[in-house]
A and B are shown apart, each in its own frame.
Chain A
Amino acid sequence: MAFKTSVQKYTGSINKLEFGSGENSKALGGENVLPFYTFDGNIGGKPLIGLEILDVYPEKWLDELQQIYGDAANNAVQWARFVEEKFSPDFICLRLEGADPNGLNKSPEEAAALAKEVAQAIKVPLVVAGTQNHDKDTKLFEKVAEVLEGCNVILLSAVEDNYKKIGAAGVLAYRHKVAAESSVDINLAKQLNILLNQLGVKNEDIVMNVGCAAVGYGFEYVASTMDRIRLAALGQNDKSLQMPIITPVSFDTWSVKESVASVEDAPEWGSQVERGIAMEVSTAASVIAAGANAVILRHPGSAETVRKLADALINN
């Protein structure tokens, strides 16, 4: 008797979420199997890889990264163009670090105006990341959503404290997509989706940021959370967890000691930038294998490596 591969079928599937506008929009999700399980069914779109840029000069980034961007990094609009032309990421993540109340504390109006210029300068879709200060992000995203109307960006992120205002302005009024952020807690991830849904935000307009950690820093909780979210979404057909997942990997991996320690401090560890890339690549590879549909990375070399890995897994 001929060998017949058994196939794991699931009743649920992950929503397909499109962001960006027109022919340059990109889709996240759409799968009805676990990540890269091409032998079981439809794996949906490829994992999307976005590069991170800032609204201010990246003072704290490594010299090697600053050198890649040179003068372009002085202006987010040029920086975005440079990244798009040179590295062709699937999307660009503009992080509004300059609006941080503990830093330059730029006004929402100023930050939003820059975000608009960036959006107009590039073709690829935009993810706009906030300051991670919940109060400021609320005001920031309300303004960003307004001035970017029509660009269909992802607002990263709304949390339990501010989901009402960000959901109402971002999605209901100006029709962007919203990332629902929870910190590695499957029950909270589900709850926040339900709350957004009860506010009137459609499940199809929500992407989840379920939290991240660099590998070696409690990453096993991240992996198991993503796994369980995907199994509930697919196996239990849990509609409140069938959103695609976006993971800002670089936000975590470039601040752990493996990436931060200079060669002088840790000569036995070798090149600092190599270490930073290694942390970023290992974490990104792990989250796309656990269920992330998009990752945000900082080093263009990391992006290239993760892209090659994903392509090789899909086209084996």
Chain B
Amino acid sequence: MERFMIIGERIHCISPVIRKAFAERDAAPILQRAKEQIDAGAAYLDLNIGPAERDGEEVMMWAVQLLQNEFNNIPLCLDTANKKAIEAGIKVYNRDRGKPIINSADAGPRIDMLDLAAANDAMVIALCAKEGIPRDTEERLTYCTEMLERGMALGIDPNDILFDPLFLVVKGMQEKAPEVMETIRLISEMGLKTNAGLSNVSNGAPKHVRPIIDSVFAAMAIQCGLTAAIVNPCDQRLMETIKTCDMIKGNILYADSYLEL
């Protein structure tokens, strides 16, 4: 089995520091967050430039080259609703260490992100949602199947689609958590890959509790088959949990210092 894929979430324009850095093309704060995440064990970095309707193409190209030049072509997840920006990013993207991931398509208005992935030989995160929050497991699977069929018709390798069952906040939608687990299990049983936007689950919970909810949620989801997650790799408890899951599942070989790698 392959190792669990950790996608670092910290280059996100919701952070004022990063938003400002994008606007001013200030490399330092972006490189710093990238380095922290890579050192902590991120395999991919999410690059969220926001809706970026005005200068998305330039920002994406600038950031892709900045990160890949500095960090030995670290693979990236291009995260924006602006399709032209994604295309521009892919044009300058180096694939030596992995295909770009488009973040994200859904079964509704953003289904054409699948077309974009197919046209550019990219991987894509596919949210199992159409309008609002899916009612139940069955509805999630319906969307999964719709996107899978469309992707395959377009010639995408099913392994290049990371299905995201839509992780929801526990505080307020507690009853959805078992549904998410069940969805991962069912999608995994089809031999498909899954991704989690993990930090959503602990939103609103006290700060000291969040890493616990995130880690346990991750461990349970990994046992259901989860193969990737967008997370904060600087969360030590979470990273230790994921590495230990990898070790227990046999994805990495045990050594006394396995947590230090």
Contacts and interface: CB of A to CB of B under 8 A. Distances in A.
**A joins B in a complex:** yes
A159 interface: no
B260 A194 contact: yes
A191 B253 contact: no
Contact of B256 (A186, A191, A232, A241): A191
Contact of A236 (B3, B255, B257, B260): B3
A190 B260 contact: no
Interface residues of B, number: 10
Nearest to A11: B2
A63 B251 CA distance: 51
A240 B261 contact: yes
B254 A236 contact: no
Contacts of B255: 187-188, 190-191, 194, 240
Interface string A234-257: 001010110000000000000000
Contacts of B3: 236
B253 A236 contact: yes
B257 A187 contact: no
Contacts, number: 30
Q: How large is the interface on A (under 10, 10 to 19, 20 to 34, 35 or more residues)?
A: 10 to 19
Contacts of A194: 255, 257, 260-261
B257 A241 contact: no
Contacts of A198: 257, 260
A195 interface: yes
Interface in A161-196: 186-188, 190-191, 194-195
A198 B254 CA distance: 17
A232 B253 CA distance: 7
Contacts of A191: 255-257
A230 to B, nearest CB: 12
A198 B259 CA distance: 13
B223 to A, nearest CB: 19
A236 B261 CA distance: 14
Nearest to B254: A187
Contacts of B252: 236, 238
A169 to B, nearest CB: 23
A189 to B, nearest CB: 8
A294 to B, nearest CB: 23
A241 B257 CA distance: 13
A186 B253 contact: yes
Interface in B231-253: 251-253
Contacts of B257: 191, 194-195, 198
Nearest to A194: B257
Contacts of B256: 187, 191
Contacts of B251: 236
B238 to A, nearest CB: 21
Contacts of A186: 253
A225 to B, nearest CB: 11
A227 to B, nearest CB: 13
B150 to A, nearest CB: 29
Closest 8 pairs (CB-CB, A-B): A190-B255, A191-B255, A194-B257, A232-B253, A191-B256, A187-B254, A187-B255, A190-B253
18 contacts: A187-B253, A187-B256, A191-B255, A191-B257, A194-B255, A194-B257, A194-B261, A195-B257, A198-B260, A228-B253, A236-B3, A236-B251, A236-B252, A238-B252, A238-B253, A240-B255, A240-B261, A241-B253
Given A187-B256, A194-B260, A240-B255, 6 more contacts: A186-B253, A187-B254, A190-B253, A190-B255, A191-B255, A236-B251
Interface of B: 3, 251-257, 260-261
